[in-house]
């Protein structure tokens, strides 16, 4: 897979983007991410997706700082990456590296054997979220459509 213009946007659909979501805990948030990642593919079991994301989270928080987290994992049964995005109604403790609550969560699943693609996507997301103007634009979104466009414009 060659990254180019619109690399990330190929893996995000409007149906997997939510704003204004409330999560009472990190566990509940990971469940929401698993729901979104698995709900639009008949081949993915929600509980399996949750277990993969939760196992990765146990290795160390995927909260990258500045209010952003990228829970991710590799899974058998898919042939291309799947991305979802959630913008919470308020910050949530996520054990982030900067100890700040998260509001924007981008969930990622990649095929089990797609190591290079996995790293490319994580790198692009981290680079995008390190830019203050991108963070501000994302945090200013108030509806799913605007948020979807902002996520699609990340690269």
Residues with catalytic function: 72
| SS3 track for the chain | CCCCCCCHHHHEEEEEEEEEECCCCHHHHHHHHHHHHHHCCCCCCHHHHHHHHHHHHHHCCCEEECCEECCEEEECCCCCCEEEEEEEEEEECCCCCCCCCEEEEEEEEEECCCHHHHHHHHHHHHHHHCCHHHHHHHHCCCCHHHHHHHHHCCC
């Amino acid at each position: 897979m060659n990254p180019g213009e619109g690399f990330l946007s190929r893996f995000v659909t409007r149906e997997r983007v939510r704003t204004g979501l409330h999560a009472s805990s990190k566990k509940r948030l990971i469940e929401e991410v698993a729901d979104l990642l698995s709900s639009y593919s008949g081949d993915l079991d929600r509980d399996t997706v949750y277990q993969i994301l939760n196992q990765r989270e146990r290795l160390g928080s995927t909260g990258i700082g500045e209010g952003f987290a990228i829970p991710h994992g590799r899974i058998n049964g898919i042939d291309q990456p799947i991305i979802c995005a959630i913008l919470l109604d308020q910050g949530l403790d996520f054990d982030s590296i900067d100890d700040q609550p998260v509001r924007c969560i981008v969930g990622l699943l990649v095929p089990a054997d797609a190591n290079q693609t996995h790293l490319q996507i994580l790198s692009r997301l981290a680079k995008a979220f390190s830019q203050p103007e991108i963070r501000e634009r994302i945090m200013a979104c108030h509806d799913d459509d605007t948020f979807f466009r902002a996520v699609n414009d990340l690269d």
